[in-house]
Amino acid sequence: MRKTVRHLADKREIVYYDDTPGAPPRDAVDTRDLPAVSAASEIRRDPLTGEWVAMAAHRQTRTYKPPADLCPLCPSRPGMPSEVPEADYDVVVFENRFPSFAQGVPGGGASVDGAGLVPAAPGRGRCEVVCFTSDHERSFSELSRSRVRTVVDVWADRTAELSGLDGVAQVFPFENRGEEIGVTLHHPHGQIYAYPFVTPRTERMLQTARAYHAEHGRHVLGDVLAAEHASGRRVVARGEHWTAFVPPAARWPVEVHVVPHRQVADLTALTDAERDDFARVYLDVLRRCDHLYDRPLPYVAGWHQAPVHRDRDLAWLHLELFSVLRAPDKLKYLAGSESGMAVWVNDVTPEQIAERLRSAV
């Protein structure tokens, strides 16, 4: 894989990752007249929960559902420059023009109203866009196994790069797919958030892993994985190095965890064999998901990785995929119990989800 680092007209970084033999040099110039990116993100800590919340009002003006011929993620063409100056590409990553977190955010430590009750800080971090292919009409499930392997390498490379930035505490690569999920750009792409704090979900998982290890001397996800192998009732796909299963306490009407058989902290620690095997297992899962209702499944798929600076021995890398689609024409809405109290009620059992996915071929 060849990596080429360039810059867009407003000084944002763009990185090309080429896996095609003989791919041309990536030296196209961004000809657009763009104003400098002005991110004014702030984070505030909720005094009742202790959780950080990001404020990013500048994102209200971000691009929203453009027609296909104006897609900003497609390659540039004569008279129609896009976010990608090249006429074609394999995989490309660039800084988000409307970031929730950015390195250049001004300001220092403070509190809301100066009262000290609600700590506030600059939303320093980084947000990147990852385009998996230049083909606007494709989806991740339609990528070749070799391209998925390239994407895994890109995720790992970006994890390493972003982990080295000042103030970054956690790196989260993810993909949102489908309008039902809230996607506003239909080109096959994902994002990477480099947070200035450890996310609430990760904090809770680390607390659970710590308590379980103190009691049992083992990692909780390792024991969950062993139990899923022994039962087999919720396993959807299995390879030499990865297993995909519906978690036994699934919250969503479609939910799959893809877990490596070996505990690693993040994507950078995966071996070549593990990366190859993930591509095969994950494509199997995605294609089953798309056959589930005979339509492209809207989903969120994100990587749970260790924090950058602490508790790396407690983390176990894994990917979580879930969908809000509970029937071909019905959505699961987060109603009072889920939204108000974070108490989930699932309309289908994990065993039923797994059986449907195993049958969806």
User: What per-residue confidence (pLDDT) applies to 297?
Assistant: 96
Percent of the chain exceeding pLDDT 90 equals 86
Half-sphere exposure of 326 (CA within 13 A, CB side): 15
The mean pLDDT of 150-178, rounded to a whole number, is 97
pLDDT at 282: 98
Question: What is the reported pLDDT for 62?
Answer: 66
Residue 123 has pLDDT above 70, yes or no: yes
H or E element in which residue 208 lies: helix 200-216
On the CB side of 239, CA atoms within 13 Å amount to 20
pTM value surpassing 0.75: yes
The catalytic residue positions are: 189
Tokens of 192: 């990477």
Which residue in the block uniquely carries the two structure tokens 């660039």? Answer: 94
Predicted local confidence at residue 109, as pLDDT? 74
Which amino acid, one-letter code, is at 159?
T
CA 162-301-228 angle, to 5 degrees, is 115
Residue 295: pLDDT above 80? yes
Within a 10 A sphere around the Cβ of 99, how many other Cβ atoms?
27
pLDDT > 70 fraction of the chain, expressed in percent and rounded: 98
- pLDDT exceeds cutoff 70 at 244: yes
Q: Among 14-28, 67-81, 152-166, 257-271, where is mean pLDDT lowest? A: 67-81
What would the pLDDT profile of 76-112 be if each residue is shown by its tens digit? Answer: 999 999 999 999 999 999 999 999 999 988 877 788 8
Binding-site residues for Zn(2+), please? 71, 74, 136, 187
Question: Residue 73: its pLDDT value, please?
Answer: 97
DSSP structural state of residue 336: I
Average pLDDT, the chain: 95
Question: Is 299 a residue whose pLDDT tops 80?
Answer: yes
Query: pLDDT tens-digit profile of 253-266?
Result: 999 999 999 999 99
Q: Exposure of 108 by Cβ count < 10 A (0-12 exposed, 13-18 middle, 19+ buried)?
A: exposed
What pLDDT is attached to residue 184? 85
3-state SS of 103-149 is CCCCCCCEEHHHCCCCEEEECCCEEEEEECCCCCCCCHHHCCHHHHH
At 186-215, the pLDDT tens digits run 999 999 999 999 999 999 999 999 999 999
Q: For residue 110, what are its two tokens?
A: 């403070």
Q: How many CA atoms lie within 13 A of 263 on its CB side?
A: 16
pLDDT at 113: 87
Residue (of 341, 307, 323, 301) closest to 205 by Cα position = 307
* Angle at CA of residue 92, ends 90 and 96, nearest 5°: 155
Q: Is the pLDDT of residue 67 over 90?
A: no
pLDDT at 80: 94
Using CA atoms, how far apart are residues 205 and 48, in angstroms rounded to an integer? 20
pLDDT band at 173 (very low <50, low <70, confident <90, very high): very high
- Dihedral sign for Cα atoms in the order 343, 330, 284, 358: positive
- 235-238 β-sheet, strand order: 2-7, 13-18, 91-95, 126-131, 189-195, 170-177, 299-304, 318-323, 254-260, 242-245, 235-238
- Give CA–CA dist 325/28, Å, rounded: 41
How many Cβ atoms sit within 10 Å of the Cβ of residue 123?
A: 26
Distance CA 283, CA 256 (A): 13
What is the pLDDT averaged over residues 218-232? 98
Ordered by where they begin, the domains of the chain are 2-197 (3.30.428.10), 201-359 (3.30.428.10)
Q: Is the pLDDT confidence value at 290 over 90?
A: yes
d(CA 108, CA 114): 13
pLDDT at 335 over 80: yes
Higher-pLDDT residue of 246, 107: 246
pLDDT band with cut points at 50, 70 and 90 for residue 38: confident
